[in-house]
Amino acid sequence: MIDILRESTSQLHQSLESQLGGFTSVNTVARYRALLRCYRALFGDLRTEWQRHPIALDWSPNLDQRIADLDTDLSQLPSVPAHPTGDEAFSLPRLDAVGLRAGCLYVVEGSALGGLMLARDFATRIPELTDDSLHFFQGAGPAATSRRWRAFMAWLASREWTTPETTAATNCATATFAYFSARLSPAMPNESACA
């Protein structure tokens, strides 16, 4: 399963990284705050969708923790006047089957890996930022983040996935990448939907 997910989404990851430009345009506290607001909306809606379906899974997503970290970080940053948020509808990935959820989790869990690097970049680029507003990207730190990722891969490997489940996982990973892309693009220059 993990190899198929990697293979089918590596191009999407690259495109997303180019689209976001490694977040180099996020170079002020106000832009960092706008980015966190986008992430907060992204994870908030994803959690709501996740909770809508009572599907048992023997892997616990850490959506609550990631949202709590975002709220902590946002509470540490100076407030800026809110821009209109618009009424754009974002297509959430479908999460009503185990295979779909595995694909979504792959993207959500994987997104924490790049975060460690991004936390260092933001701290360098925006000297006013302290650790108090970098919880979301720092996560539980390098050791715990890589431990969690290894545990997630072990979980994926420990289960027998049927072909339809693997197909569903691939489709949902693709949809989840598209969801991240749509939700984070307003934080890029000249956009203000999440500020």
- Residues in 118-137 at the binding interface with ligand HEM, rule: CB under 6 A: 118
- CA-based R_g, the chain, Å: 17
Site string for ligand HEM, 174-193 (x = CB under 6 A): ---x--x-------------
- Binding of ligand HEM at residue 16 (CB under 6 A)? yes
Helix or strand or coil: residue 67?
helix
Instruction: Decide: is 17 part of the binding site for ligand HEM (CB under 6 A).
Output: yes
Residues 56-115 contacting ligand HEM, CB under 6 A: 106-107, 110-111, 113-114
Binder to ligand HEM among 6, 52, 120, 150 (CB under 6 A)? 6
Rounded CA separation 172/175 (Å)? 5
13 lies in the site for ligand HEM, by CB under 6 A: yes
Rounded CA-CA distance 95/90 in Å is: 15
CB 12 within 8 A of CB 174: yes
